[in-house]
């Protein structure tokens, strides 16, 4: 059994020793593995973590390679100029392509990356300046302070230093404020937006990062082989890169190394044996890869990395150590009793169904307002309108005096509204602590680049400290490092509350927080909500459990079929005939 750190040390030791005992042939092979690892690593982040599919990474490799090749061969530029120009061009194209496609859901991104890959391949093969299909040769080697890297072993040093740096940077990124946001992108985009994360921008950043890794790989490739031709950037290659990411383990940084190693070695081996089975030569290895993928993905859906990690303990990340840190600054809330939230004639239609109809109510700072009503009354929809998850069709919503009904969810979050979701919206594979830390996203500022360089540690400690404090508040400290999906539903609701509290909100919206809780847990939750109110928090509470609400709230708003049917003090509502009718609706009374 070996730990993650030991595995890293062993791997680095192997890399350092390899050029001394491997033959020229295997050193070259290792170089190709390193080059592929860079591209596959971008796909791990893009596809495995963020859930965006690209079949066009080979085209970015090509842009990085060709840019430097043309500048060096036609204009005598140094490879370092070529690197800067190649990355700049790759970045420009990635941003251009990303701005158009990344926001669109569904198949737009995969399809446009295929189209992009094909067109670049034909462009390379048909431009006179690029020597068409013959390619550009005679590239100079990279030189570092006068040291020319003109052998395979010397290129090896550069390639693997870059790969190691990229792997560590990617690992650092995933373990940070931005990383948590990226990991929420795939399945929890609505939640992420509700905590202030700009998901479209983040997707673009990841797409750009993956493209830059590919461009970097292309530059290294060009100056290692000293020759570029269109054949290295076919759509086949794009598919192979995806295979590598998937086989290795598309959501794990080290999976990129495993996938790239395995497929590169396998391809080399297949190149030797396949021609003995087939009459003519061709790219048969892609067919074999495809056939091998089926049983692999059947047995190990998440790729080989988790399987290997189970053998050792390498994949399991050490539980986060929460150390004390300076508390994050708090928001200055409005004075108790001032108008906080006001809905006026708010409307939401789903096709022919008016889920929320001309809904109006006011709420003051420091109160707990209950929003009740039978199933399907429109309570959750009203929440979604207030938080900007859904746009309203008519009416006005004001928060602290300002209109918010036209703002996107992440802007509303910034104003100090935090919520929980009726259908629990946690990142299942992430720990309780990390899930709650997403709530504090807007209380940090360090972005992806600083995270990669580990320049975010001070802020990160403060964010995690804050998250741990909120986890303790809801009584889940014992589960701090457990995957949130491993908790029973009732406790997952508590994690949702802790995450909302981590945002330091002015107004807290809770959608059926007591559902699934046991009696004692409900009592503890009620005590927590009372404590929050005494600290000046305003709470809008949707709840089904009447007993739970009655003892807790100042006032109630009752909805039925999208409309407000009553509003008042709990004991008046309890005696209100219209409300009783709505709740008991359809049940005939026997009494005369």
Q: Is 380 in the site for Mg ion (CB under 5 A)?
A: yes
Total Cβ atoms within 10 A of residue 545: 14
Q: Does 380 bind ligand ADP (CB under 6 A)?
A: yes
Q: Residues 252 to 311: which contact Mg ion by CB under 5 A?
A: none
Helix axes 199-225, 57-75, angle to 10 degrees: 50
Q: Is 56 left (phi over 0), alpha (psi -120 to 50) or beta?
A: alpha
Q: Does 381 bind ligand ADP (CB under 6 A)?
A: yes
Residue 398 has, within 13 A of its CA and on its CB side, a CA count of 14
Phi and psi at 488, nearest 5°, equal -65, 160
Count, residues in the chain = 592
Give the C-alpha separation, 385 to 400, whole Å: 16
- Binding-site partner at residue 196 among Mg ion, ligand ADP, none, CB < 5 to 8 Å by type: none
Tell me the number of residues near ligand ADP by CB under 6 A.
11
Q: Which does 375 bind (CB under 5 to 8 A by kind): Mg ion, ligand ADP, none?
A: ligand ADP
Task: Yes or no: say if 527 and 513 are a contact pair by the CB < 8 Å rule.
Answer: no
Strand, helix or coil at 11? helix
Q: Is 229 in the site for ligand ADP (CB under 6 A)?
A: no
Tokens of 567: 């509003």
The reply to whether 377 sits near ligand ADP by the rule CB under 6 A is: yes
The interface mask with ligand ADP, positions 319-358, x = CB under 6 A, is -------------------------------x--x-x---
**Shorter beta-carbon distance to ligand ADP: residue 96 or 391:** 391
Sign of CA dihedral 402, 406, 410, 411: negative
Give bridge partners of residue 344 from the DSSP assignment: 396
| Smallest distance from ligand ADP to CB 558, Å | 11
Kindly list the distances between the CA atom of residue 286 and the CA atoms of 54, 140, 241, in Å, as whole numbers in the listed order: 18, 32, 11
Smallest gap from residue 541 Cβ to Mg ion (A): 12
Q: Give the Å distances, CA to CA, from 402 to 94, 175, 408, 415, 555.
A: 38, 36, 14, 10, 23
From the list 223-231, 256-264, 292-300, 373-381, the region that binds Mg ion by CB under 5 A is 373-381
Q: In the complex, what is the shortest distance from the CB of residue 379 to Mg ion, in angstroms, rounded to a whole number?
A: 5
Nearer to ligand ADP, 42 or 378 (CB): 378
When asked if residue 248 is in the footprint of ligand ADP (CB under 6 A), the reply is: no
Q: How many Cβ atoms are within 10 Å of 197's Cβ, its own excluded? A: 26
Residue closest to 504 by CA, chosen among 463, 534, 541, 476: 463
- Backbone phi, then psi, for 398, in 5-degree steps? -115, 140
CA distances in angstroms from 164 to 167, 281, 450, 522, listed in the order given = 5, 35, 18, 50
Which region, judged by CB under 6 A, interacts with ligand ADP, from 41-49, 77-85, 214-222, 376-384? 376-384
- Least separation in angstroms between residue 380's CB and ligand ADP is 3
**Binding residue count for Mg ion, defined by CB under 5 A:** 2
- Using CA atoms of 502, 507, 509, 515 in order, give the dihedral in degrees to the nearest 10: 70
Nearer to Mg ion, 33 or 509 (CB): 509
Answer yes or no whether residue 379 interacts with ligand ADP by CB under 6 A: yes
Provide the minimum distance between the beta carbon of 293 and Mg ion in the complex, in angstroms, as a whole number: 42
Residues 385-424 that bind Mg ion (CB under 5 A): 422
Closer residue to ligand ADP, CB minimum distance, 167 or 372: 372
Is 511 or 521 the residue whose CB approaches Mg ion more closely?
511
Is 378 a binding residue for ligand ADP by CB under 6 A? The answer is: yes
Helices (H) and strands (E) in the chain, counts: 23, 14
What is the nearest approach in angstroms of Mg ion to the Cβ of residue 83? 54
Shortest Cβ distance from residue 32 to ligand ADP (Å)?
49
Segment near ligand ADP (CB under 6 A); pick from 173-181, 374-382, 483-491, 574-582: 374-382
Of 87 and 355, nearer to ligand ADP (C-beta) is 355
Q: How far is the CB of 348 from ligand ADP (least distance, A)?
A: 8
The residue (of 229 and 492) whose beta carbon lies closer to Mg ion is 492
Asked if residue 131 binds Mg ion (CB under 5 A), the reply is: no
* Nearest distance from C-beta of residue 564 to ligand ADP, angstroms: 12
Does 557 sit near ligand ADP (CB under 6 A)?
no
**Is the CB of 102 or the CB of 389 nearer to ligand ADP?**
389
Residue 371 near which of ligand ADP, Mg ion, none (CB within 5-8 Å, type-dependent) = none
Tokens of 6: 């030991």
Q: Is the dihedral of CA 446, 448, 453, 457 positive or negative?
A: positive
* Contact of 414 with 399, CB cutoff 8 Å: no
Report the C-alpha gap between 304 and 149 in whole angstroms: 34
> Judged by CB under 6 A, which of 281, 375, 520, 534 binds ligand ADP?
375
**384 near Mg ion, judged by CB under 5 A:** no
- In the complex, the smallest distance separating the C-beta of residue 290 from ligand ADP, rounded to whole angstroms, is 38
Asked whether the beta carbons of 182 and 173 are under 8 A apart, the reply is: yes
63 with 228: CB under 8 angstroms? no
Region for 464 from its dihedrals, namely left if φ exceeds 0, alpha if ψ lies in -120 to 50, beta otherwise: alpha
Contact status, residue 481 vs residue 431, Cβ threshold 8 Å: yes
- Distance in Å, CB of 369 to Mg ion, minimum: 16
**Interface mask toward Mg ion for 422-451; x: CB under 5 A:** x-----------------------------
Q: Cβ contacts of residue 7 below 8 Å, gap of 6+?
A: 312, 314
- Strand 368-372 vs strand 555-560: parallel, antiparallel, or unpaired? parallel
What minimum distance in Å lies between the beta carbon of 198 and ligand ADP? 23
Residue linked to tokens 């938080």: 387
- The CB-of-383 to ligand ADP minimum distance in angstroms stands at 8
Q: What are phi and psi of 465, to 5 degrees?
A: -65, -45
Among ligand ADP, Mg ion, none, the one that 419 touches (CB under a kind-dependent 5 to 8 A) is none
DSSP string covering 91-105, please? HHHHHHHHHHHTTS-
Site string for ligand ADP, 385-424 (x = CB under 6 A): ----------------------------------------
* Subset of 427-446 contacting ligand ADP (CB under 6 A): none
List interacting residues with ligand ADP (CB under 6 A).
350, 353, 355, 373, 375-381
List interacting residues with Mg ion (CB under 5 A).
380, 422
């Amino acid at each position: 059994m070996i730990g993650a750190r030991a595995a890293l040390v062993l791997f680095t030791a192997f890399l350092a020793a390899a050029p001394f005992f491997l033959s020229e042939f295997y050193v070259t092979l290792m170089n190709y593995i390193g080059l592929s690892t860079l591209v596959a690593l971008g796909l791990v982040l893009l596809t495995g973590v963020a859930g965006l599919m690209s079949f066009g990474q080979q085209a970015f490799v090509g842009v990085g390679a060709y840019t430097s090749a043309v500048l060096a061969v036609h204009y005598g530029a140094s490879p370092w100029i070529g690197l800067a120009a190649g990355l700049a061009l790759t970045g420009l194209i990635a941003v251009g392509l990303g701005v158009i496609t990344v926001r669109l859901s569904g198949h737009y991104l995969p399809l446009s990356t295929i189209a992009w890959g094909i067109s670049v391949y034909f462009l390379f093969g048909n431009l006179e300046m690029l020597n068409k299909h013959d390619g550009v040769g005679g590239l100079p080697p990279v030189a570092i302070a006068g040291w020319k890297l003109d052998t395979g072993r010397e290129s090896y040093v550069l390639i693997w230093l870059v790969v190691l740096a990229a792997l560590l940077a990617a690992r650092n990124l995933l373990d940070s404020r931005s990383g948590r946001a990226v990991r929420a992108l795939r399945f929890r985009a609505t939640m992420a937006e509700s905590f202030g994360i700009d998901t479209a921008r983040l997707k673009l950043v990841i797409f750009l990062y993956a493209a830059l890794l590919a461009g970097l790989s292309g530059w290294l490739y060009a100056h290692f082989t000293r020759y570029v031709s269109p054949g290295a950037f076919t759509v086949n290659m794009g598919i192979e890169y995806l295979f590598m990411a998937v086989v290795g383990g598309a959501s794990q940084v080290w999976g990129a190394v495993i996938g790239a190693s395995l497929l590169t070695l396998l391809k080399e081996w297949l190149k030797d044996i396949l021609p003995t089975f087939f009459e003519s030569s061709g790219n048969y290895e892609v067919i074999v890869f495809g056939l091998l993928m089926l049983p692999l993905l059947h047995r190990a859906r998440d790729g080989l990395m988790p399987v290997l990690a189970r053998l050792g303990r390498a994949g399991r990340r050490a539980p986060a150590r929460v150390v004390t840190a300076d508390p994050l600054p708090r928001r200055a809330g409005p004075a108790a009793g001032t108008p906080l939230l006001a809905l006026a004639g708010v409307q939401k239609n789903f096709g022919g169904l008016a889920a929320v109809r001309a809904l109006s109510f006011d709420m003051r700072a420091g109160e707990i307002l209950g929003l009740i009503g039978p199933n399907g009354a429109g309570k959750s929809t009203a929440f979604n309108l207030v938080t900007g998850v859904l746009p309203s069709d008519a009416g006005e919503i004001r928060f602290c005096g300002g209109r918010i009904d036209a703002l996107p969810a992440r802007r509303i979050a910034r104003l100090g509204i935090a919520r929980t979701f009726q259908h629990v919206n946690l990142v299942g594979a992430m720990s309780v602590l990390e899930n709650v830390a997403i709530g504090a996203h807007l209380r940090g500022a360090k972005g992806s680049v600083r995270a990669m360089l580990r320049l975010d540690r001070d802020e990160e400690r403060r964010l995690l400290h804050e998250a741990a404090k909120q986890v303790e508040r809801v009584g889940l400290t014992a589960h701090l490092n457990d995957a949130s999906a491993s908790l029973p539903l009732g406790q997952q609701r508590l994690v949702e509350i802790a995450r909302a509290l981590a945002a330091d909100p002015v107004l807290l919206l809770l959608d059926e927080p007591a559902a699934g809780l046991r009696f004692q847990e409900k009592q503890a939750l009620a005590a927590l909500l009372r404590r929050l109110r005494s600290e000046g928090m305003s709470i809008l509470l949707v709840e089904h459990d009447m007993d739970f609400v009655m003892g807790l709230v100042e006032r109630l708003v009752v909805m039925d079929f999208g409309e407000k049917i009553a509003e008042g003090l709990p004991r008046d509502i309890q005696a209100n005939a219209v409300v009783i009718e709505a709740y008991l609706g359809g049940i005939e009374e026997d009494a005369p």
